[in-house]
Amino acid sequence: MDESAKPLGLFPASMSQTAIPEFFVYGEPARALDVGFLHVETVQARASVHRGQVLAHKHPQMAQITFWTSGQGLYRIEDRTWSFSAPTVSFMPSGVVHGFDIEPDTDATVVSIADEALAAIAEHSALALDQPVFVTGQGEAVLWQRLSETIGMIQAEYAEAQAGAEKILPPLVAVALSHIARLYAQSHAVTVPAAVALGGRLRRLIDRHFRDDWPIERYVEELGTTRHLLDKASHQVLGSGVRQAIGERRLVEAKRLLLFTIRTVEDVAYETGFNDPAYFSRFFRQAVGMAPAAWRKERIVSSE
């Protein structure tokens, strides 16, 4: 962030966290996302909905890259606001409150990625994905050019929807995130409320240790907090308590392995931290509504 870009204001003081709407994409109700979900559109494509003013909102289980290619405006993350002009880029993890006001002829490409897909992309990204990032007016021109080219490739692959796009898009997103990391290294950190920061650190710790069957107390200890504060941060950022968030991360990994590998259900159970395949099957059925093998078969048939 440019040092000259000072906070300009706050969200309305009367706005409580529980009043902030959750969307799929702006203006559409939140909904369950498929494994590997990725969506690309421009800000102007939704201009009839927001008319230049996107109010405070958040996305459950979905992160976004927003790359501003023209114009200027105000961008809000949690309780802080910055002025910006193109080129500007942000990365917004799921659960983080954001919004913006833009002037006419301002546009951006928005890449939305389900947390389920982001978990696989994370290991190939140079950017830590647990905290929001906002970069404007900083960085070498060549870095912005590389990011622009990569975002353009993502947009073209998504629009053309040719065979194999689902294999090409995730690596391109990882490259875009890595370009953002290089720009961010020349910028200044975005300060977010303590609960949001703690929720982001929890998300990252769960990603690393969901297979290890840690008790909640181990997460509390590793993060240097209290169980009450950790559960509060988990609800605020991840949309559920700590135990449920760990279970949802295991479910994400199980779905990925069932859909994209030929490993047996037993192997998937062990790989996702379940010592008892029968218990894994009951867990999966309760969460999804069908047994793992049946879910795999249905998804493979529907994709043919």
Provide the sign of the torsion angle of the four alpha carbons 179, 250, 252, 236, taken in this order: negative
| Residue 63 maps to a domain | yes
Q: pLDDT higher for 284 or 128? A: 284
Query: Could you write out the DSSP letters of every residue in 191-242?
Result: P--HHHHHHHHHHHHHHHHGGGT--HHHHHHHHTS-HHHHHHHHHHHHSS-H
Determine the pLDDT at residue 155. Answer: 96
- Asked whether residue 82 falls in the same domain as residue 207, the answer is no
| Residue 26 maps to a domain | no
- Asked whether residue 107 falls in the same domain as residue 183, the answer is yes
Mean pLDDT, residues 82-94 taken together: 92
- Asked whether residue 153 falls in the same domain as residue 247, the answer is no
CA distance 78 to 71: 22
Q: Phi-psi bin for 224: left (phi > 0), alpha (psi -120 to 50), beta? A: left
- Asked whether residue 47 falls in the same domain as residue 166, the answer is yes
Of the three residues 170, 188, 206, the one that is the final residue of a domain is 188
DSSP H or E stretch at residue 166: helix 165-184
- Asked whether residue 183 falls in the same domain as residue 42, the answer is yes
- Asked whether residue 152 falls in the same domain as residue 231, the answer is no
CB 90 within 8 A of CB 132: yes
| Residue 6 maps to a domain | no
Mean pLDDT, residues 120-126 taken together: 89
- Rounded to 5, what percent of the chain is helix, strand, coil? 50, 20, 35
- Asked whether residue 48 falls in the same domain as residue 135, the answer is yes
- Asked whether residue 177 falls in the same domain as residue 48, the answer is yes
Q: What angle do CA 12, 63, 304 make, to 5 degrees?
A: 140
* Residue span of the structural domain in which 96 resides: 38-188
CA distance 96 to 20: 11
Q: Is the pLDDT of residue 6 over 60?
A: no
- Asked whether residue 184 falls in the same domain as residue 198, the answer is no
CB 72 within 8 A of CB 43: no
Domain count along the chain = 2
Q: Six-digit token pair at 61?
A: 């289980």
DSSP H or E stretch at residue 96: none
Each residue's pLDDT tens digit, 183-231: 988 666 677 788 888 988 898 899 889 999 899 999 999 999 999 999 9
CB 101 within 8 A of CB 53: yes
| Residue 12 maps to a domain | no
Look up residue 149 and give its amino acid: E
| Residue 199 maps to a domain | yes
CA distance 225 to 221: 7
CB 212 within 8 A of CB 187: no
Q: Is the pLDDT of residue 15 over 70?
A: no
Nearest alpha-carbon partner for 88 in 155, 56, 134: 134
CA distance 186 to 129: 17
Q: What angle do CA 275, 279, 281 make, to 5 degrees?
A: 115
CA distance 203 to 36: 18
- Asked whether residue 204 falls in the same domain as residue 173, the answer is no
* Domain of residue 150, CATH code: 2.60.120.280
Determine the pLDDT at residue 119. Answer: 81
Q: Is the pLDDT of residue 294 over 90?
A: yes
Each residue's pLDDT tens digit, 39-48: 999 999 888 8
Strand-strand pairing, 98-102 and 53-57: antiparallel
